[in-house]
Chains A and B, each alone.
Chain A
Amino acid sequence: MLNLSNKNLEFLKAQIPLITLLSLVVIVGISEPAFFTRSTLLVVIADTTTLFLMSAGATFVILMGGIDLSVQAVASLISVIVAALLPEYGFFAILIAILAAALSGFSGGIAHHILKIPSFIATLAISGVVASAAFWLSDERQIYIAPELRDKYLSWATGETFGIQSEIVVSVVILAALLLIQLRTTFGRFVKAIGFGEQAVIASGIHVPRIKMLAFTLSGAMAGLSGVVFAARMSSGSPTLANEFLLPSIAAIIVGGTALTGGYGSIWRTFLGALIISVVRVGMTFVGISVYAQQIVFGMVLVVAVAITIDRSRITIVK
């Protein structure tokens, strides 16, 4: 009989996302051998970048026990801002765009903290505001980025670096930086502590509002970066660019094994989760499921992932 101690079981449970990813890769690879080529695998990782960046910042919010539902709207707005300002301001356009994204994240944090409303409502409201702003700024149209501008200002995001897609380099750099923040800074530590038990953190004399604001701001800024990369890849900005990303961006975090209840999880897990979503997406495309029908699968994946990762010892009744 298989006899697992509690500790081994815990360890095994923690590896579920990695095991899932590897199994999916094998499954897709067997049904479509072309998937196993170096170039295809690199394309999959590069394609994951925008999703990963969107989910990466939001991971901190979820680690605190909150949620950020505005990332896809922020990414769309930022694509519009970059596309519109690039001809005139060059690199500054990118800076302005990311600052605007950070500001929208910060606003969500303010609404959540000062007015004491749940983060899902606060960020949902912000997402509405941001989406409208994108429509208004773009005149409800797609704004194209000229190829020479793209090559000049956005090649770091969409060209080739060290012989591989630049997106991958961006992903890895961001992953490393955020991992460092999560594991080695007071911000990273207190974000988790707030997720596990906010009152003990407050009683220890820590300035909790500052940490919360920072987490929402970071989430906004990363969504902004995602929007910039998105715009670079599409050579355009559009108010609906990232519309289909709301479900996947949350799903990536949860599928990676970060608990929706806060405290438990990691940026690394979000990276795995984003890859899982991408492989599922590629797999479905191979099988011939339409992009719109794919949302059904993401919705189901989200429910199943939450059901698996949720820490049931902390919740007895769900309302």
Chain B
Amino acid sequence: MSSHLKLRDARKEFPGVVALNDVNFEVRHNEIVGLVGENGAGKSTLLKILSGVYQLDKGEFLLSGDVINLKSTRDAFDHGIGMVFQEQSLLLNMNISENMFLGREDMFVHGGILNKKAMFQATEAELEKVELNLSPKLLCSELTFAQRQLVEIAKALSLEKSHGGSVVVLLDEPTSVLEKSEIDLLFREIRKLRERVSFIFVSHRLDEVLEVSDRIYIMRNGEVVGEMKAADATLSSLHKLMVGRELHHEYYREARQREPGKQVIFEANKIGKNGMFRNVSFSLHEGEILGIAGVIGSGREELARCLAGLEILDDGEILVENQALALSEPRNAVKKGIGYIPRDRKVEGVVNSFSVAENITMASIQKICSWGFIKKAFEEGIAESSIKQLGIKTPGVHTRVGSLSGGNQQKVVLAKWRYAGARIMILDHPTRGIDVGAKEDVYELVRDMAEEGLSIILLADTLEELIGLSNRILVMKDGNTTKEFDASTGSKPEQVDLIPYMV
């Protein structure tokens, strides 16, 4: 296979950091190249170089053997490099056809008039490539996430017309919003399309990268630390190269899993929210980790938000230590010792522009006040001991939380609830968007909390994580609970046991 796209000794620096250090990277024609690395490894910088957002400081960028210098994303597009973004970039109030040729309508314009019919026909031809049988006139807001993703790919493929098949499509975390069945569909299409174009596939999920790629690059600290055929790679060999150390044998700290206590701390009694979930009952014991499994639309996300008081229940009752709790606002929950670790950390977890100390004391500010005034020195002491206890990596207590890495921000949120004395923790995707090393720290902290007798409700990023961490698992589907699994040490269910009850 001949070289399609190549970076030779590529270097990119930002003030204070070398984002790419003499990187050599190649995509051959009709190849799917996987790219993995922890957050901050340089993946996004590499993608931004390839899509024309950034320019190289040193080194060469070759496309089909010619040195090129891309000035913008549009420039990259005109060179046959299409990017499918993590956050989808379709305009939802426009139809498929308008999105497909956005900014490139010229080719259908004759005498100042847009030939819509020709544009529709061209769109249909592109949709056919990804086997989407949809009308080009359909509004993008009516499409499912998977369909939108395919439309984006079709948009990138539309470059073929002008580039005689010489197209590279960059896929940045394309599966993060997709369901399993949709991911399978996407992968099938990608494999089929490989006959015409080349792909670069970036994902946090190593198993997906292994499944779909022909060859994989592993990055760490701005360097390529490994390159191997997917057939020769395993999850643990990739992981080892990514983090620079062995995959912990006890990744989810199962050895630290304890039998929960007898006392029931939290009880949900036939609770429901119209259109989201109904008739959900469960009890949560002291020191127990209760995992809730379910796909998007199962109602588990809304359930978690209702338990935190962020949304309001329509039916049923909640008991905390045998006392009924009216949950109309988060503060009702907080008063009863319920802490919520949100999925969207930057919006509901931390105040980005506030310091580490100010964030840690936010949910329990009365504790650091006397006569209505905040005792700053006392607050600093609290923050310092939290930083030490949770291993938060920060230059100091006054550092803005927004400048910390995702993993450390998450630890600040955990520290906030621990200082507030929360006894029930709702962890809504606690490891989302944080790198592998920080994930392990979060797992340790989850075990610490359970050991101290805190009760935990967990919505995990992956089934593997859910099974690994939980004492017990509740499966939800279409708003109903379908099954409960015991997940004690030694008798954990397999992923395949859960899936039939989820879909």
Binding site for B on A (CB under 8 A): 6, 180, 184-186, 189-190, 192-193, 196-197, 199-207, 263-264
CB of B317 to closest CB in A, whole Å: 20
Q: Which of B334, B354, B416 contacts A196 (CB 8 A)?
A: B354
CA–CA, A206 to B331, complex, Å?
A: 6
Q: Which residue of B lies closest to A184 (CB)?
A: B373
Q: Does B347 lie within 8 Å of A197, measured CB to CB? A: yes
CB of A313 to closest CB in B, whole Å: 10
Main secondary structure of the interface of A (DSSP, over half): helix
Q: Contacts A193-B354, A205-B334, A205-B363 given: A200-B374 contact, CB under 8 Å?
A: no
CA–CA, A106 to B191, complex, Å?
A: 63
CB of A179 to closest CB in B, whole Å: 13
CB of A53 to closest CB in B, whole Å: 23
Q: Which residues does chain A contribute within 8 Å of B369, judged by CB atoms?
A: 186
CA–CA, A189 to B365, complex, Å?
A: 10
CA–CA, A180 to B351, complex, Å?
A: 22
Q: Which 5 A-B pairs have the closest CB atoms?
A: A205-B334, A205-B331, A204-B363, A203-B348, A196-B353
B349 within 8 A of A: yes
CA–CA, A263 to B331, complex, Å?
A: 22
Q: Which residues does chain A contribute within 8 Å of B372, judged by CB atoms?
A: 185-186
B479 within 8 A of A: no
Q: Which residues does chain A contribute within 8 Å of B365, judged by CB atoms?
A: 186, 189-190, 206
Q: Which of A6, A197, A203 contacts B310 (CB 8 A)?
A: A203
Q: Does A199 lie within 8 Å of B374, measured CB to CB? A: no
Q: Which residue of A lies closest to B362 (CB)?
A: A204
Interface set, chain B 396-453, CB cutoff 8 A to A: 416, 420
Q: Which residues does chain B contribute within 8 Å of A196, judged by CB atoms?
A: 351-354
Q: Which residue of A lies closest to B348 (CB)?
A: A203
Q: Which residues does chain A contribute within 8 Å of B366, judged by CB atoms?
A: 186
Give the interface centre of B15, B340, B349, B353 by most chain A CB atoms within 10 Å: B353
Q: Does A185 lie within 8 Å of B351, measured CB to CB? A: no
Residues of B within 8 Å of A, CB-based: how many? Answer: 32
CA–CA, A192 to B374, complex, Å?
A: 15
Q: Which residues does chain B contribute within 8 Å of A263, judged by CB atoms?
A: 353
Starting from the known contacts A184-B376, A186-B374, A200-B348, 15 additional A-B residue pairs (CB-CB under 8 Å) come to: A185-B374, A189-B365, A193-B351, A196-B353, A196-B354, A197-B347, A197-B350, A197-B353, A200-B351, A203-B330, A203-B342, A204-B416, A205-B334, A206-B363, A206-B365
CB of B333 to closest CB in A, whole Å: 7
Q: Which residue of A lies closest to B309 (CB)?
A: A205
Q: Does B334 lie within 8 Å of A200, measured CB to CB? A: no
CB of A309 to closest CB in B, whole Å: 14
CB of A12 to closest CB in B, whole Å: 17
CA–CA, A62 to B454, complex, Å?
A: 40
B137 within 8 A of A: no
Q: Which residues does chain B contribute within 8 Å of A201, judged by CB atoms?
A: 351, 362
Q: Does B362 lie within 8 Å of A193, measured CB to CB? A: yes
Q: Which residues does chain B contribute within 8 Å of A206, judged by CB atoms?
A: 331, 362-363, 365
Interface set, chain B 325-343, CB cutoff 8 A to A: 329-331, 333-335, 340, 342
Q: Does B353 lie within 8 Å of A203, measured CB to CB? A: no
Q: Which residues does chain B contribute within 8 Å of A264, judged by CB atoms?
A: 353
Q: Which residue of B lies closest to A188 (CB)?
A: B374
Q: Does B373 lie within 8 Å of A197, measured CB to CB? A: no
Q: Does A200 lie within 8 Å of B350, measured CB to CB? A: yes
Q: Which residues does chain B contribute within 8 Å of A193, judged by CB atoms?
A: 351, 354, 358, 362
Q: Which residues does chain A contribute within 8 Å of B467, judged by CB atoms?
A: none
CB of A66 to closest CB in B, whole Å: 17
Q: Does B351 lie within 8 Å of A203, measured CB to CB? A: no
CA–CA, A117 to B461, complex, Å?
A: 37
B119 within 8 A of A: no
Q: Which residue of B lies closest to A6 (CB)?
A: B15
Q: Which residue of B lies closest to A193 (CB)?
A: B351
CA–CA, A140 to B416, complex, Å?
A: 56
- Give 5 CB contacts A-B under 8 Å: A186-B366, A186-B374, A197-B352, A202-B329, A204-B362
CA–CA, A313 to B353, complex, Å?
A: 12
